[in-house]
Structure 1
Amino acid sequence: MGRVTLQTIADRVGVSRMTVSNAFSRPDQLSPTLRDRILAVADELGYVGPDPAARALARGTVGAVGLLLTDTLSGAFADEVATTFLGAIADELAPTGLGLTLLSTATSGGVVPARDVAMDGALVYSCDPESTAVEWLLRRKIPLVFIDQIPADGVPAVNVADREGARAAAQHLVDLGHRRIGIVTAGVRGAHGLVAPDDIIDGFVGTHRLLGWLDALTPAGIEPAIARRPHGDPESGYQAARLLLEAPQPPTAILCFSDAMAQGVVSAAADAGLSVPEDLSVVGFDDSPGSARLRPPLTTVRQDIQAKGHAAAAALTQSIEAARNDTPAPAGHLCLPTELIVRASTARPR
């Protein structure tokens, strides 16, 4: 048998070529009985469906959206917060039929994913606002949604109340009686090591969490020691904690940019012969799936990671639909709440 086409199936079933096409692309136009019959014949003849590239060309759409990540893709899959966020996006997109393409800001062999990969729209997740990849997406004028980014005019944005959550975390330590407090944070640009607040150049999340911590510490007369690393993983948290704990007057409590960094801080404390929370209180941020499994369970700031992923994907599909219908896209800024979760990793200082 030669190449199987829509016409081949139409001739076998005794219907028009358009009817067969509708069975694949517009199933609501056919009765379930007729569609099942057409698909059964297609399966018998080994036909898998219209060519996706040709169908995209005819529709003027790709059927996929991009997710731009600053981190390496392998790093994203190693992070519980990122994987939970990805899962929520995938769940929200599933009924739409849109695929998800992961994009790194890195370039390879002259290929710039944000510039070169075909997509109907994109989610920009916690990226450096000065990244050339973000600039390329804006220049392409495709529907975008910013998540954990500085909001931009005309672009829907989803953030969490980072400043309020960080303020609550720092106030918790102040109320417990801590006065020597350290901060472990992360960011690609700017100074690393032991830094002053003015040395930090950060994106939306890092800036607002730092402001929140200082909102509570400064009125209490506390000047925190700050250790900053390029990444927010446990190893970076470990390295940052070592810098703080080796100081002549080490902190009795440490505020962390993320639960992942807090995990590294707890490990560094154990290696230094310190007990958490008797010798060192530790507070994370995110309430990642593993935070309650740490020993001791981690005091942290909860953000609803799944709600953030669902909201971001829903906003993007609405923007894509608006672009297809040539109608104004919603460009609202959604800010999800945070909540301090007190567990066993914090206590009054000795």
Structure 2
Amino acid sequence: MSVEGGGDVAGRVTLQTIADRVGVSRMTVSNAFSKPDQLSAALRARILAAADELGYVGPDPAARALAKGTTGTIGIVLTSSLRYAFTDQVATGFLGAIAEQLAPTGLAITLLTSWDSGAIVPARDLAMDGALIYSCDPTSSVVDILSRRKLPLVYVDQDPVPEYSSVNVDDRAGARAAAQHLVDLGHREIGLLLSGLHGPFGIVDPTRIPLDAHASRQRMLGWQDALRPAGITPVAARQDGKDLESARRGARLLLDRPDRPTAILCFSDVIAHGVLQIAAELGIRVPDDLSVAGFDDNPLAARVTPALTTVRQDIEAKGRAAAAALTTAIAQSRVGGTVTPQHILLPTDLVIRDSTAPFRR
């Protein structure tokens, strides 16, 4: 069989079979599938109708990829399990924007985990034209594998590196605005609730806690930008996961104590939701007794009661920018040119809703 799937194999429909039926060349049939702009609409319709009648679904994808030197697929490496892509509203919004941006290109998406699962390592074994590295541990063996494969890469919510394009939101400015909002409301006893998969669970020293992700570090810096000049030393807690149950456990660390803070800055809206739930269970009124601020402005923020004050990041813009940067890098690499890295920083905005109020003695 030829690389276009049109060789002569007994009993098998090939490009030549269709060409003979329509009365055109094999190359014309091939163009009907791979270069439709080379044919008139009427001729392409005749060829596709004949293919359908003969039960031919198209050239073999693996053979076509071998011939073209491309796979038509990009990878997206996630920080956690693949379930995260379908349950976290920020992740689903980000992935949806990527899919929409890529739709006109015909590129397909393969989701990969950053965990090395042993003998089978998709980042090493799957063919792809490039990959997005989304909020992953930079020391992950999976990230190292993709780098050594010399694939076009784009880092998202990661520390920028000179050789690859990156897309980030201005986490530090957003966190600073949220913290300053609480300071301006008169709060001085402020708690921080952090997210993380690695490191200690419990009350931690905010000046010494190891932060394993770009966004965590930038948001901590932003909070401290506002709290330190006000002479505020926050009490910080670190939860042991990213889901709502983890957030509830983390919230208890700050709220179920005699010197509980009057306001809490949360790493995400999901975490802030956990704080709202535990506050209600403990009889703490938000915002009368406690102010709560989140981060992301995902759809949850406006639906909970009270509606969350939060920092908005444009998830759609982030997804579109990441996809565009990767397709540009792939196009540059295909022509053998130098890939020019892009470093994109998207703005954030403070959205004030009902979960924050002036400090009341």
- TM tier relative to shorter chain: over 0.9
Q: 2:75 aligned with 1:57, yes or no?
A: no
CA distance in 2: counterparts of 1:293 and 1:204, whole angstroms: 28
Q: 2:313 aligned with 1:303, yes or no?
A: yes
Aligned residue in 1 for 2:33: 24
Q: 2:259 aligned with 1:238, yes or no?
A: no
Q: Deviations over 1:105-164 (max 9, x none)?
A: 223351112111111000000001111111111111100000000011110000000000
Q: What aligned pairs does 1:203-282 form with structure 2 within 5 A after superposition?
A: 203-282=213-292
Structure 2 residue identity aligned to 1:88: A
- Equivalences, count: 350
Report the RMSD for the aligned CA atoms in angstroms.
1.1
Q: 2:60 aligned with 1:40, yes or no?
A: no
SS of residue paired to 1:106: coil
Structure 2 residue identity aligned to 1:175: D
Partner residue of 1:72 out of 52, 71, 81: 81
SS of residue paired to 1:290: helix
CA distance in 1: counterparts of 2:209 and 2:356, whole angstroms: 28
CA distance in 2: counterparts of 1:73 and 1:119, whole angstroms: 18
Structure 2 residue identity aligned to 1:329: V
Aligned residue in 2 for 1:283: 293
Q: CA deviation at 1:191?
A: 2.4
Q: Which runs of 4+ in 1 moved over 6 A?
A: none
User: Which runs of 5 or more residues in structure 1 are unaligned?
Assistant: none
Structure 2 residue identity aligned to 1:317: T
CA distance in 1: counterparts of 2:94 and 2:224, whole angstroms: 28
Q: CA deviation at 1:192?
A: 2.3
Aligned residue in 2 for 1:194: 203
Aligned residue in 1 for 2:333: 323
Per mean C-alpha deviation after superposition, the further-off stretch among 200-209 and 340-349 is 200-209
CA distance in 2: counterparts of 1:265 and 1:309, whole angstroms: 28
CA contact (8 A) 2:116 2:142 kept: no
Q: Deviations over 1:248-288 (max 9, x none)?
A: 21001100000011111100111111111111111000000
Aligned residue in 2 for 1:138: 147
Q: CA deviation at 1:315?
A: 0.4
Q: CA deviation at 1:77?
A: 1.0
User: Which runs of 5 or more residues in structure 2 are unaligned?
Assistant: 1-9
CA contact (8 A) 1:297 1:345 kept: yes
SS of residue paired to 2:83: helix
Q: Deviations over 1:174-227 (max 9, x none)?
A: 000001100011122332211112122322100000000011011111111111
Q: 2:192 aligned with 1:183, yes or no?
A: yes
CA contact (8 A) 1:185 1:232 kept: no
Q: Deviations over 1:289-345 (max 9, x none)?
A: 121011011000000000000000000001001111111223021000000000000
CA distance in 1: counterparts of 2:85 and 2:72, whole angstroms: 23
CA contact (8 A) 2:84 2:91 kept: no
Q: CA deviation at 1:33?
A: 1.1
SS of residue paired to 1:111: coil
CA distance in 2: counterparts of 1:245 and 1:85, whole angstroms: 32
CA distance in 2: counterparts of 1:230 and 1:243, whole angstroms: 12
TM-score by length of 2: 0.95
CA distance in 2: counterparts of 1:2 and 1:133, whole angstroms: 43
Aligned residue in 2 for 1:88: 97
Q: 2:169 aligned with 1:160, yes or no?
A: yes
SS of residue paired to 1:199: coil
Percent identical among aligned pairs is 63
CA distance in 2: counterparts of 1:227 and 1:78, whole angstroms: 24
SS of residue paired to 1:164: helix
CA distance in 2: counterparts of 1:39 and 1:330, whole angstroms: 40
SS of residue paired to 1:249: coil
CA distance in 2: counterparts of 1:109 and 1:132, whole angstroms: 11
SS of residue paired to 2:133: strand
CA contact (8 A) 1:64 1:101 kept: yes
Structure 1 residue identity aligned to 2:59: P
